Amino acid sequence: MPWEVKNLMSQRYEFCLLASEPGSNISALCQQFNISRCTGYKWLRRFQDEDSEGLRDRSRRPHQSPGRTDPAVEEAVIELRLKYPVWGPRKLHRLMRDQWEADLCPSRATIARILKRNGLIERPVPQPKWPAIGRFEHPYPNDMWQMDLKAPLRLPEGRKIYPVGLLDDHSRYLLGLWMLPDFSDDGVIGCWINACRHYGLPRRTLTDHGSQFRMEDEATSAFRIYLWACGVEHTQGRIAHPQTQGKIERFWQTLNREVLRRHAYTDRASWQSCFDEWRYQYNHFRPHQELGDEPPVSRYGVSDRPFVEPDCRARIGRDESVYRNVNCRGFISLGGLRHMVGRGLAGWTVEVRALGNGCWHVYFRHHFMREILLTRSIRSQRTISKSGKPPACPT
């Protein structure tokens, strides 16, 4: 025969039935069920008063809780959480601290308990196994901007759109957040120009090695050329090392949690309108942990370098140099021959310095680009790519 299975309720019920019989020995029954006499008489009394319903476990919550949070405060916390559904106790506490008096504002731990009690708290994000090392932060706003493109979003009709973000390194101020129909050079440069018109020029811009930012022999980045023309340095992180652009990469996680996973618009204009509204909240209201729970606007200021549209035909360099216009394919004419100087330079004027013996150096706004060697034989004519410092010319 199978084993007899007994739960707690059935044991209590059996004990009370046996104890209720006339002439029963309650002390022996308590010993048999391995409970104290006090516990046995308690369950017997409840059974006699409420029948089997009295055998259920009762809440141990006290009848009075003088230290309990005011229901109005709890309601305010819940309302704030529903308004910002992805913000945790730390951000909500920072927001309430500005709106409530010090003695009425609940602590961060109290807010966490309220959210947990109402089923509004999310599972905590696991901490990385290895702590980050080599953190850096520029000391002033506009010392460095970080720019990046995110993986595209697909609209219902199958068309792709591309989020582009631009972030100030010092303050984490979101300078711009755009949704582009493609990832062309003109679109990315246009986003950077738009931010410069509003906030002035930075001293440096950091990007990864995406196709819009690369710097190769016959595919010179139009983005870098435009930054040089504005007097801004272009820095790129190490290949396959996104930690260098850590701030903008971490920003994409925030955008995913607070915007992309919560909306499903069907056109680019709606996404852009959503981005503009959320960017204002991100910059002016959302507390940032790395900023002492202050919003980015508390640390940001407009640049003292105003943006001026560069002249693509300006002759900047030495007076004795030769100047050439770069055609749409990235070539210049020199010595009766065509020489590739970079597609990113198309439409710009470059400086060509003569060093003697058929050796010429090509510069753009004082940045060395190419070395060109001219000889009598067309077959022996060659163009040497950029290699950091200008190589020495033959004598």
- The confidence band for 169, taking pLDDT boundaries of 50, 70 and 90, is very high
155 & 249 share domain: yes
Residue type present at position 207: T
Answer for the pair 59, 77: CB distance below 8 angstroms, yes or no: no
Ranges 22-36, 160-174, 240-254, 374-388, most confident = 160-174
Answer for the pair 48, 15: CB distance below 8 angstroms, yes or no: no
Give per-residue pLDDT as tens, 52-101.
Answer: 888 888 888 888 777 788 888 888 888 889 888 888 888 998 888 888 87
The verdict on residue 137 lying in a domain is no
Residue type present at position 164: V
105 & 179 share domain: no
**Which of 60-69, 147-156, 221-230, 256-265 is predicted with the least confidence, judged by mean pLDDT?**
60-69
Q: How deeply is 64 buried, as exposed, middle or buried, from its count of CB atoms within 10 A (0-12, 13-18, 19+)?
A: exposed
CA distance 327 to 35: 97
> Once rounded to an integer, what is the mean pLDDT over residues 27-52?
87
Transcribe 249-307 into DSSP letters.
Answer: HHHHHHHIIIIITT---SSHHHHHHHHHHHHHHHHHTS-BGGGTSB-GGGT----SS--
CATH number assigned to the domain comprising residue 161: 3.30.420.10
267 & 210 share domain: yes
160 & 274 share domain: yes
The verdict on residue 85 lying in a domain is yes
pLDDT at 325: 95
- The confidence band for 384, taking pLDDT boundaries of 50, 70 and 90, is very low
The verdict on residue 170 lying in a domain is yes
List CB contacts of 326: < 8 A, sequence separation 6 or more: 332, 341, 342, 345, 346, 347, 348, 349, 350
The verdict on residue 51 lying in a domain is yes
pLDDT at 117: 86
CA distance 51 to 31: 23
- The confidence band for 377, taking pLDDT boundaries of 50, 70 and 90, is very low
Of the candidates 243, 248, 204, the residue with the CA atom closest to the CA atom of residue 224? 204
The verdict on residue 390 lying in a domain is no
- The alpha carbon of residue 344 and the mean position of all alpha carbons in its chain are separated, in whole angstroms, by 29
Average pLDDT, the chain: 86
153 & 200 share domain: yes
158 & 287 share domain: yes
- The confidence band for 331, taking pLDDT boundaries of 50, 70 and 90, is very high
- The confidence band for 119, taking pLDDT boundaries of 50, 70 and 90, is confident
Strand partners, 294: 288
> Once rounded to an integer, what is the mean pLDDT over residues 120-142?
75
Greater confidence (157 vs 133) lies with 157
Structural domain harbouring 51: 8-55
> Once rounded to an integer, what is the mean pLDDT over residues 357-376?
88
CATH number assigned to the domain comprising residue 87: 1.10.10
76 & 182 share domain: no
- Give how many domains the chain has, as a whole number: 4
pLDDT at 227: 94
pLDDT at 380: 42
- The structure's pTM equals 0.76
**Which stretches of the chain are DSSP H helices?**
8-20, 26-32, 37-50, 71-83, 89-99, 108-117, 185-199, 222-229, 246-255, 268-284
Please say if the pLDDT value at position 296 is more than 90.
yes
List CB contacts of 15: < 8 A, sequence separation 6 or more: 29, 33, 35, 40, 43, 44
- The confidence band for 4, taking pLDDT boundaries of 50, 70 and 90, is low
Strand partners, 204: 233
Tell me which of 264, 298, 332 is where a domain ends: 298
Give per-residue pLDDT as tens, 334-349.
Answer: 988 999 998 889 999 9
Could you give the angle at which helices 8-20 and 37-50 cross, rounded to 10 degrees? 80
> Once rounded to an integer, what is the mean pLDDT over residues 220-230?
91
CA distance 365 to 372: 18
Answer for the pair 357, 348: CB distance below 8 angstroms, yes or no: no
194 & 247 share domain: yes
Answer for the pair 216, 156: CB distance below 8 angstroms, yes or no: no
Give per-residue pLDDT as tens, 301-326.
Answer: 999 999 999 999 999 999 999 999 99
- The confidence band for 124, taking pLDDT boundaries of 50, 70 and 90, is low
pLDDT at 274: 94
92 & 149 share domain: no
205 & 292 share domain: yes
Please say if the pLDDT value at position 157 is more than 50.
yes
CA distance 288 to 282: 9
CA distance 173 to 223: 22
152 & 269 share domain: yes
274 & 183 share domain: yes
- The confidence band for 382, taking pLDDT boundaries of 50, 70 and 90, is very low
The verdict on residue 34 lying in a domain is yes
The verdict on residue 102 lying in a domain is yes
The verdict on residue 187 lying in a domain is yes
